[in-house]
C-alpha cells in the first residue's frame, strides 16, 4: 500500500495542511513579543489548526457530527505520531520566524 514509512507520513499532510501550518505559524510568530511566549503561541496555533477544519466543513453545510468526525480523523489517521509531528513543526517554524523577526526587525 505505501512504499515506506516516510510516504505514510507525507500522506498525512495535504497541501491545505501545509498552507494552514505556514499561515498559522506566521501569525503566531508575529504576535509573540518575548521568547517565553513560544510554547503558548505553538499551543494556540495547534488548537486553531485542530478546530479549523471543523468550522470550515460546518460553514459548507456539513452537519456538525460529520464535520467533527472529519476534523478528528485528520489528526488521528496515522496515530498520535502525526499530532506530535504537527506540534514539532509549529515549534520549529514559530521559533525560526520569531528569531528572524527579532534579528531583522527594526528596533
Range of the structural domain that residue 69 is part of = 37-102
Query: Is residue 83 one of the residues assigned to a domain?
Result: yes
Decide: pTM greater than 0.85: no
Query: Is residue 92 one of the residues assigned to a domain?
Result: yes
Query: Is residue 8 one of the residues assigned to a domain?
Result: no
Query: Is residue 65 one of the residues assigned to a domain?
Result: yes
Using alpha carbons, select from 107, 105, 104, 97 the residue that is nearest to residue 42. 97
Query: Is residue 57 one of the residues assigned to a domain?
Result: yes
Query: Is residue 77 one of the residues assigned to a domain?
Result: yes
- Over its length of 107 residues, how does the chain's per-residue pLDDT go in tens digits? 556 766 766 777 778 888 888 999 999 998 989 999 999 999 999 889 888 888 888 898 888 888 888 777 776 666 677 778 888 999 999 999 999 999 998 76
Domain count, the chain: 1
Using alpha carbons, select from 84, 82, 102, 105 the residue that is nearest to residue 38. 102
- Cα 4 off chain centre by: 23
Amino acid at each position: 500500500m505505501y512504499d515506506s514509512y516516510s510516504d505514510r507520513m507525507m500522506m498525512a499532510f495535504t497541501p491545505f495542511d501545509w498552507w494552514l501550518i505556514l499561515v498559522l505559524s506566521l501569525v503566531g510568530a508575529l504576535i509573540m513579543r518575548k521568547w517565553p511566549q513560544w510554547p503558548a503561541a505553538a499551543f494556540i496555533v495547534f488548537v486553531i489548526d485542530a478546530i479549523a477544519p471543523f468550522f470550515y466543513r460546518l460553514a459548507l453545510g456539513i452537519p456538525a457530527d460529520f464535520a467533527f468526525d472529519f476534523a478528528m480523523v485528520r489528526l488521528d489517521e496515522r496515530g498520535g505520531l502525526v499530532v506530535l509531528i504537527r506540534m514539532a513543526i509549529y515549534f520549529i517554524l514559530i521559533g525560526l520566524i520569531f528569531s528572524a523577526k527579532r534579528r531583522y526587525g527594526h528596533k
